[in-house]
């Protein structure tokens, strides 16, 4: 398929679903999954413009850096979530309201 708009629309769908997960999910890990969806949507846009918009390999490099940052972000976020679980015995984001217990 050689139409830029198809890829952009698919990325928009992934982005919207990611936002929906971030807004409505209670479980912190599910929120993290939504963030991964958003990052994938951004990556898809970068690669689409690399092919159709004349960004060439700069787009590929950008996507690579996004993947690296996503890996780092997931590791730190999961460490925080495990800490949250040790302190509250629950990882629902709306139950973690206290800074200190």
Partner 1 sequence: MTNIVFWFFVIMTITAALMVVLSKNLIYAAIALLVTFLGVAAMYVFLWADFIAGTQVMIYIGGILILLLFGIMLTHKITSVRISHTNVQRGVGALIVAAIFVGLVWMINFTPWLKVTTQEPLQTVHSIGTLLMTDFLLPFEVASVLLLGALIGAAVLARKET
Binding site for partner 1 (CB under 8 A): 1, 4-10, 12-21, 23-27, 29-30, 32-34, 36-37, 40, 43-44, 47-48, 50-54, 56-58, 60-61, 63-65, 67-76, 78-83, 85-86, 91-92, 94
Distance CA 63, CA 2 (A): 20
The residue (of 86 and 98) whose beta carbon lies closer to partner 1 is 86
The residue (of 82 and 98) whose beta carbon lies closer to partner 1 is 82
Phi first, then psi: give them for residue 35, nearest 5 degrees.
Answer: -65, -40
Handedness of CA 78, 84, 85, 87 (dihedral sign): positive
The CB-of-22 to partner 1 minimum distance in angstroms stands at: 9
The CB-of-15 to partner 1 minimum distance in angstroms stands at: 7
What DSSP character marks residue 56? T
What DSSP character marks residue 47? H
The residue (of 4 and 98) whose beta carbon lies closer to partner 1 is 4
The CB-of-100 to partner 1 minimum distance in angstroms stands at: 14
Q: Closest by alpha carbon to 48, among 1, 18, 8?
A: 8
First vs last C-alpha separation in the chain: 56
């Amino acid at each position: 398929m050689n139409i830029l708009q198809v890829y952009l629309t698919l990325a928009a769908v992934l982005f919207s679903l990611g936002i929906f997960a971030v807004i409505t999910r209670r479980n912190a890990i599910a929120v993290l999954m939504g963030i991964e969806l958003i990052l994938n949507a951004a990556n898809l846009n970068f690669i689409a413009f690399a092919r159709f918009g004349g960004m060439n390999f700069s787009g590929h490099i950008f996507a690579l850096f996004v993947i690296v940052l996503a890996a780092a972000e997931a590791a730190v976020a999961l460490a925080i979530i495990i800490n949250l679980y040790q302190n509250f015995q629950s990882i629902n984001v709306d139950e973690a309201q206290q800074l200190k217990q």
